[in-house]
Structure 1
Amino acid sequence: MAVIFKWLLRIVSGLLVVMGLAASLIYYFASRSLPDYDKDLQTGFVTAPVEIVRNNANVPHIFGARDEDVFFGLGYAHAQDRLWQMVTMRRTAQGRLSEVFGTQTVEIDRLIRRLDIYPLSVQSVDALSDHTRAMMSAYANGVNARINEVNSEALGRGAPEMFLFNAPIAPWRVADSLSIQRVMALQLAGHLEEEVLRARISLLIPDETRLSDIMPDFPGAGIAALPEYSAMVPGTKRYVEAAPRAHHPLSPFKPRGMAGASNAWAAATNRSASGGTLMANDPHLELSAPAIWYLARMELSKGGVIGGTIPGIPAVLTGRSDRLGWGLTSAYLDDQDVLIEELNPANPNQYRTPNGFKEFRTRSSIINIKDAEPITLTLRWSDNGPILEGNQFDLKTVTPKGHVAALSWTSLSPRDTSMDAAIGLMYADDVRSAIAAAEKYIAPAQNLTLADRENIAMKTVGANPRRAALHQSKGRMPSLGWRPENRWQGRLPYASNPEFIAPIGGIIGNTNNKVIDRAFPLHMSFTWGDSQRVHRWERLMQGRQVHTRDSFIEAQLDTVSFTARSLLPLVAADLWFTGESAPDGTPERQRQRALALLAEWNGEMNEHLPEPLIYSAWMRALQTRLIKDELGPLEVEFTHVEPLFIERVFRDVDGAGAWCDVIQSAAVESCSDVARLALDDAIIWIEEKYGRNLESLRWGDAHQATHDHQVLGEVSLLKAFVNIRQSTSGGDNTLQRGKTIGKGPDPFLNSHAAAYRGVYDFADPDSSVFIISTGQSGHFLSRYYDDMAQLWRRGEYVPMSLDEDLARAAAVGVTRLLP
């Protein structure tokens, strides 16, 4: 026995030594790619030394003799900290993810190839101004300087992920940056899926009034009635099952309801306590680790600019100079249309046009797949745009036999000059010159909020398609592609885009709400991103005569739900404080306890409170009960509560109370009956997941922010190191937006929020502040991988200063790039 024990001890000890050596070796190779921020590097690309001064938040302050050299420094800094993120986004844009990740990303590559993202970006390079091309070329040289350094000095392949997913890194090109900008447009686009879902519901529920209940027209006049889809597109079936769609973390195609969002607002000098203009911006995107945003300061010939950049794109997209601040919110302009093309029965390579049948434009494209045989696609285009596959965006459910679907989308222009506008904004002196620079912006459509030292403004930027007044669906559902009235007729002039300069009230802003009410076809959209947050924003803005930097921060971090305050009195009107007190331990008593808690609640979605969880679970269960019998299998498409729908039902607008009655039952259920049953459903779900003690529930336990690594986040041995999870306040409809995931066993996880926040005061610009949701580095062994995460969670910020002396005084390193 002693001998056996001795040998077991030796074996275990040996295994531990081997494991320790292996771990040390892994750490050594992974840590080789950690950037050295304090060094001199001979590059040969610059005309004079470039300095990258990293302040104590690891924000690079870049100084150079020429603007090209400064853009070179930005490219180098991006590649130092986010090389893996950049090359992965480039692969996404090229439709080449499967070369590295195998079969799991084939569907992403197929769709990207159909859209022709990268070839269109290559074509767009020639459309850019000479100045923009020069700056972008310098930026690309900066990225390549880092890639050359990694290769020549064996710096761990540039990122730890490169060891697990090894693939050659091609030199960076100008077109790569343009393609990443188009990938961002994909993430912000949502009208295509809205069109398809509206058509699918129309096939199930021909009553246009009931269709408007579940996919309501946003409040305001000028809404056009919809045709019945089956009458507009004959041959479609009442219900066709959609293929299950798994959302891969690398996919730029976001689930419905998860397209871009944001907040931005500004105050004029007469509404500012400091006497200078104020501005705030917090763009909302899917959370990830690292965050999509990267903070940088660039000292250009016209002065310094500082703010949020996206690695791979050579521009400060939201931020400020010493004269101007700019911010972005998704405009929800309707820039996508699905056109149904009829195939020639005698020749499927032809499609019907107003002038007869015509050949598709075609091209072959090969997708190489790791550990699998390659796939050859035949890409097709009609006059209306690329032809998509039936299983993409559920298009087969609304496409009759013998037809295919084409996509018209402004982002598919071969002469996209959006980068001219992005770089031009950095050189603008004031509101007027910024609006002029933004005329070249094409897609994705944005509301550009501006503040210079005297004025504030907001301008919708992006191409607005010109549709015919007789368009069959007004762009709200797929329509017949061969009918001339359904085809785009160019685009509306930039001057027609909504514009608000120096408003009389002294306050301007946008929460993705409806900004203008114009009749079709001069409208912007029938679908908007917010009908709720804007009401809370109005109250906070009008609640003060003058504002300060701190009051703007308070508004950014506000977690009071206007939606909860509006819906609870409607839904619970017949349930609150009715009936006798029930015995402890009974379902009736649990219901009474839940209602008592909600009766005292002010609607604040605070992470430490139980009421937000009870309310959210109740509304989710209520909507499920309301729509399940009418929509059947389409019920799963509504992953988030639709506040306008529930309000219409409980106010019985145009007979919407009919949704409360269960069609399959003999009895006639009232809305109060359904509300009570839904509350019981919610309590059962809560008890199974969190326990019976309702008073001890915490919203933050359910509403954890999911800053997950897009590739390593699901690897069991690594996810504890690379994922960042945090208890958070806010919700789907609060100004501090924390959009829930909406499905699965944890439907209230916070997956979509403000990964960048910035607040600027032009009375004292260096008192401006910003924050991002994780950290500057994409290297999970870096101290800067998650150092801002807790600040972000607590609602704290770091200074946004253009003072060179302050940056140098707090420097954690200075990199000198030499000729």
Structure 2
Amino acid sequence: MGFLFRWLLRLVSVAITLTVLGVLVVYYLGSRSLPDYDKTLTVAGLSADVEIVRDNSDVPHIMAKTDPDAYFGLGYVHAQDRLWQMTLLRRTAQGRLSEMFGTRTVETDKLLRRLDLYPLAVQSVAAQDEQTRAALEAYSAGVNARIAEINRDSLGRGAPEFFLFEAPLSPWQPADSIAIVKLMALQLSGQLRDEVLRARTSLLLPDANRVADILPDMPGQGIAALPDYAALFPALPRYAAAQTPGNDMLMPVAPRGLAGASNAWAAAPSRSASGGTLLANDPHLNFTAPSIWYLARLQLGTGGVIGGTIPGVPAIMLGRSEKLGWGITSSYLDDQDLYIEELNPDDPELYRTPDGWKPFRTRKSIIAIKDAAPITVTLRWTDNGPVLPGSDFDLNTVTPPGHVASLAWTALSSQDTSMSAAIGLMQAPSVQDAITVSEGFVAPSQNLTLIDKKTIAMQLVGAMPRRDARHQSLGRLPSPGWRAENRWQGMLPFSENPQFIAPEGGIVGNTNNKIIDRPFPLHVSFDWGDSQRIMRWQGLMQGRQVHTRDSFIEAQLDTVSITARTLLPLIGADLWFTGEAAPEGTPERQRQRALELLADWNGEMNEHMPEPLIYAAWVRALQERLIRDELGPLAEEFDHVEPLFIERVFRNVDGAAVWCDILRSAPVETCTQIAQMALDDALVWISENYGSNLDSLRWGEAHQATHDHTVLGDMPLLRYFVNIRQSTSGGDNTLQRGMTSGQDPAPFQNVHGATYRGVYDFADPDSSVFVTSTGQSGHFLSRHYDDLGQLWRRGEYIPMSLDIDLARAAAVGVTHLVHE
């Protein structure tokens, strides 16, 4: 027995020793790629030495004597901290992920090859102005200098992920940066999905009023009547089941409702307590670890510029210079149209046009796949745009037999000058100059909020398609591609893009709300991202005669839900303070306690309170009960509560209360009955997932921000090191937006929100502040991987100063790039 025990002890000791040694080896290999910020490095490609001072938040301040040298430095620091992220972005745009990840990313690669984003980026290089081409070349040289250093000094392949996924690093090219901007346009575009869903809903609900209920238009002037989609394509069945979605890893297309959002507002000197202009901006994107944003400061010939960059792109995309501040919000411009193309029944290689049958433009494309045979994809284009298969975006449900779908989209331009506009914006000395420069933006379309020392403005930037007033579906539904009136007729002149300069009230802002109400075809969009947050913003802005940096921060962090304040009195009107007192432990008593809590609640979606969870679960269950019997499986597409729909139903707008009647039951149910049943549903769900003690519930337990690593986040063990989870306040309709996933088993996880926050005060520019949702480093062993995320969660910021002495005073390192 003693002999056996000794051998077991030895085996356990050996196993422990080997495990410890394995962990140490992994840590050593991983830590080799941690960048050294305090060094001197001789590199080729510079005209003079560059100094990179990293302040105590790891924000690099790049001091250079020429603009190209500054862009070189930016390329170098991006590659130091985010090389893996840059590699993923580039490979995604190229449609080359499967070379690393195998069959899991084939569908993603197919889509990107069909869209042809990378070849279009290559062609767009020549369209840039001279200073932008110089910036792209210098930036690429900076990235490549870091790659050469990694290879020369065996610096752990540049990032730990490269040990797990073999990905030879090819030199960075100017087209790579332009391709990433086009990829961002894809991530921020949602009109395609909206068209498909509207068509599917129209097929299922022949009554146009019911379509208007569940897909409501923003309040304002009426919209011209749309044709029944079935009338455009009679061969389609009234309902077709959607294809079961696959596991499309790294698919850069956001689910419906998550294609982009943001807040931005500005105050003129007349509305500022300090007498200077103010600007607040927080763009909303999917949460990832690391965040898409990387903070940096550039010293250009026109002065210092500081703010948020995107790794792979040589520009401050949002932030401030010494003379100008700018922020961005998604404009929701209708810059995509789907077309149904008729195939020639005698020759499917021909499609119908206004001038007769015409052959597709075709090209073969080979996708290499790790551990599998390569596949060849035939790319097809029509005059309207690339042909997409029915398996993408549920297009099979709205495409009749003998037809295919194609996509028109502003980002599919070979003369895309968005990069030149971004470079020019950093150098613009005034609001008017910035507007002039912004004419070069093509895609993604954004609302650009601007301030200089005296003026505030908001300008919609990006190419606006010119549509015929006779367009059959007004661009809201897939339309026959062979009809001349449905086709785009070029782009509108920049003068038609809405702009608001120095408004009389001294305040301008956008929460993705409807910004203008012009008749089609100058309408901008029929589908907007917000009808709720704007009401809270208006109240906060008009509640003060003058504003300060702190009042703008307060508004940016506001978590009061106007939606909750509006809906609860409607859906609970006949439930509050009714019925007999119920004994403890009964469903009736649980319902009464929930109603008591909600009756005393002010609508604040605070992470420490139970009421937000009760409210969110109730309205989610309510919408499910209202739509499930009418929409069947299509109800799965409506995974977020549409406040305007519930309001229409409970106010019985155009007979919308009919949604409350359960079709398959003999009695006619009232909306009050459905509201009570939905509350009971919600309380059962809460009890199963969070316990039955309503007073002890915490919204933050359900509303955790999910900053997950895009590749390692699902891996056993590793996910505990690379994913960042935080309890958060806010919700779908608060200014501090925390968009929920809508997906079981965790429908209230916070998956989409402010990945960057900035507030700029031109009365005292160095008192301006900013923060991102994770940290500067993409290396999970770095202390800067999540340090800013802790500040972000608490609603704190770091200074945005162009004073280099302040950066040097607490620098975590100074890098000197010495030219050969």
Alignment correspondent of 1:473: 473
Aligned to 2:686: 686
Q: SS at 1:183's partner residue?
A: helix
Contact 1:247-1:254 at 8 Å conserved across structures? no
Q: Which amino acid aligns with 2:800?
A: M
CA distance in 2, matches of 1:390, 1:614: 40
Which stretch shifts more, 111-120 or 241-250?
A: 241-250
Corresponding position of 1:36: 36
Aligned partner of 2:727: which letter?
S
Q: Residues of 2 paired with 1:395 and 1:301: CA distance?
A: 50
Whole-angstrom CA distance in 1 between matches of 2:79 and 2:554 = 35
Q: Which runs of 5+ in 2 are unaligned?
A: none
Q: How does 1:578-657 map to 2 (within 5 A)?
A: 578-657=578-657
- Output the CA distance in 2 between the equivalents of 1:730 and 1:709: 23
Is residue 104–residue 249 contact of structure 2 (8 Å, CA) maintained in 1?
A: no
Match of 2:109 in 1: 109
2:519 paired residue number:
519
Match runs of 1:677-716 below 5 Å? 677-716=677-716
1:645-673: CA deviations, max 9, x gaps?
00000000000000000111111000001
Secondary structure, aligned partner of 2:227 = coil
- The corresponding residue for 2:800 is 800
Matched-pair contact (CA < 8 Å) for 1:284–1:753: yes
- In 2, the alpha carbon distance for the partners of 1:29 and 1:42 equals 25
Distance across 1 between alignment mates of 2:763 and 2:354: 59
- 1:756-795 deviation line (CA, Å, top 9, x unaligned): 0000000000000000011000000001001111110000
Structure 1 residue aligned with 2:571: 571
Aligned to 2:72: 72
Once residues 231 and 387 of structure 1 are traced to their aligned partners in structure 2, the CA distance between those partners, rounded to angstroms, is: 23
Q: Is it true that 1:318 corresponds to 2:318 in the alignment?
A: yes
Partner of 2:460: 460
Q: Return the letter of the residue paired with 2:596.
A: A
Shift of 1:53: 0.4
Question: Do 2:105 and 2:249's aligned partners in 1 also have CA atoms closer than 8 Å?
Answer: no
Q: Contact 1:651/1:657 (CA < 8 Å) preserved in 2?
A: yes
Give a deviation string over 1:449-483, Cα, whole Å, max 9, x none: 00100000000000110110010000000000000
TM-fit CA distance, 1:120: 0.6
Partners of 1:50 and 1:62 within 8 A in 2: yes
Letter in 2 for 1:766: D
- 2:728 maps to a residue whose letter is T
Q: CA deviation at 1:222?
A: 4.1
1:350 and 2:341 matched: no
RMSD in angstroms over aligned alpha carbons? 0.7
1:502, distance to aligned residue in structure 2 (A): 0.3
Residue 550 of structure 2 aligns with which residue? Answer: 550
How much has 1:236 moved relative to structure 2? 1.0
Map 1:336-415 → 2, pairs under 5 A? 336-415=336-415
Contact 1:262/1:284 (8 A) holds in 2: yes
Q: CA deviation at 1:240?
A: 1.3
- Aligned match of 2:62: 62
What does 1:106-255 align with in structure 2 at a 5 Å threshold?
106-246=106-246, 248=248, 250-255=250-255
Aligned residue for 1:314, secondary structure, equals: coil
Distance 1:534 1:165 in 2: 44
1:172-218 C-alpha deviation (Å, 9 max, x unpaired): 00000011111101110000000000000100101111100000011
Distance 2:533 2:45 in 1: 48
The normalised TM-score by structure 2 is 0.99
Separation in 2 of the partners of 1:599 and 1:647? 18
CA 1:511/1:249 → structure 2, altered by over 3 Å: closer, same or farther? farther
CA displacement, residues 686-718 of structure 1 (integer Å, 9 cap, x when unaligned): 000011100100000000000000000011110
**Shift in Å at residue 246 of structure 1?**
4.2
Partner of 1:674 in structure 2? 674
Q: What does the per-residue CA deviation read over 1:228-282, in whole Å, with 9 as the maximum and x for residues that have no partner?
A: 0010122111111111224656221111111110000000000000000000000
**Count of aligned pairs between the two proteins:** 819
SS at match of 2:714: coil
Deviations 1:540-566 (A, max 9, x none): 000000000000000000000000000
Report if the CA contact (8 A) 1:222-1:518 is conserved: no
CA contact (8 A) 2:54 2:60 kept: yes
Structure 1 partner of 2:754: 754
Query: Hey, what's the Cα distance between the residues in 1 that align with 2:203 and 2:112?
Result: 29
1:660 maps to a residue whose letter is C
The residue that corresponds to 1:501 in the other structure is 501
Q: Relative to structure 1, is the Cα distance of residues 51 and 248 closer, same or farther in structure 2, using a 3 angstrom cutoff?
A: farther
Q: What amino acid sits opposite 1:678 in the alignment?
A: A
Deviations 1:414-457 (A, max 9, x none): 11100011111000001000000000000111000001000000
Aligned to 2:257: 257
Q: Which residue of 2 aligns with 1:538?
A: 538
**Residues 277-319 of structure 1: per-residue CA shift (max 9 Å, x gap):** 0000000000010011000000000000000001001110110
For 2:287, the equivalent position in structure 1 comes to 287
Task: Tell me the secondary structure at the aligned position of residue 283 of structure 1.
Answer: strand
Q: Could you tell me how far apart the structure 2 residues matched to 1:384 and 1:321 are?
A: 40
In 2, are the aligned partners of 1:222 and 1:517 still within 8 Å (CA)? no
Letter of the 1:533 counterpart: R
**In 2, are the aligned partners of 1:247 and 1:255 still within 8 Å (CA)?**
no
For residue 718 of structure 1, what is the aligned residue in structure 2?
718
Partner of 1:433, secondary structure, is helix
Distance of 1:289 and 1:390 partners within structure 2: 33
Q: TM-score, normalised to structure 1's length?
A: 1.00
Corresponding residue for residue 272 of structure 1: 272
Counterpart of 1:781? 781
Deviations 1:740-762 (A, max 9, x none): 01012000000001010000000
In the other structure, the counterpart of 1:483 is 483
> In structure 2, how many angstroms separate the alpha carbons of the residues matched to 1:141 and 1:576?
67
Query: SS of the counterpart of 1:411?
Result: coil
Inter-partner Cα distance in structure 1 for 2:638 and 2:107: 23
Q: Distance in 2 between matches of 1:180 and 1:33?
A: 24
User: What SS does the aligned partner of 1:412 have?
Assistant: coil
Give the conservation status (yes or no) of the 8 Å contact 2:108–2:249: no
Aligned 8 A contact 2:73 2:142 in 1: yes
Q: Residue 713 of structure 1: SS of its match in structure 2? A: helix
Q: Name the SS of the counterpart of 2:787 in structure 1.
A: coil
Identical counterparts, % of pairs: 69
Structure 1 residues 574-612: Cα deviation after superposition (integer angstroms, max 9, x where no partner): 000011111111111100000000000000000000000
Partner SS, residue 539 of structure 1 = helix
Q: Which amino acid aligns with 2:208?
A: E
Match of 1:683, as an amino acid?
A: L
Do the aligned partners of residues 512 and 249 (structure 1) sit closer, same or farther apart at CA in structure 2, a change above 3 Å counting?
farther
> In the aligned structure 1, how far is the partner of 2:632 from the partner of 2:86?
42
1:350-403 deviations in whole A, cap 9, x for unaligned? 000011100000000011111111110000000000000101000010000000
Q: What is the distance in 2 between the residues matched to 1:47 and 1:493? A: 40
SS at match of 1:376: strand
Partners of 1:203 and 1:229 within 8 A in 2: yes
CA distance in 1, matches of 2:277, 2:167: 49
Q: Which amino acid aligns with 2:16?
A: L
Asked if structure 2 preserves the Cα contact closer than 8 Å seen for 1:177 and 1:312, the reply is: yes
Call closer, same or farther: CA 1:247–1:545 in 2, change over 3 Å.
farther
Partner AA of 1:437 in structure 2: V
Counterpart secondary structure, 1:313: coil
Please state whether the residue corresponding to 2:114 is helix, strand or coil.
helix
Q: Which residue of the partner structure matches residue 740 of structure 2?
A: 740
- Three-state SS of the structure 1 residue aligned to 2:500 is strand
CA distance in 1, matches of 2:240, 2:417: 40
Q: Which amino acid aligns with 1:410?
A: T
Measure, in 2, the Cα distance between the counterparts of 1:466 and 1:664: 46
Which range is displaced more, 246-255 or 679-688? 246-255
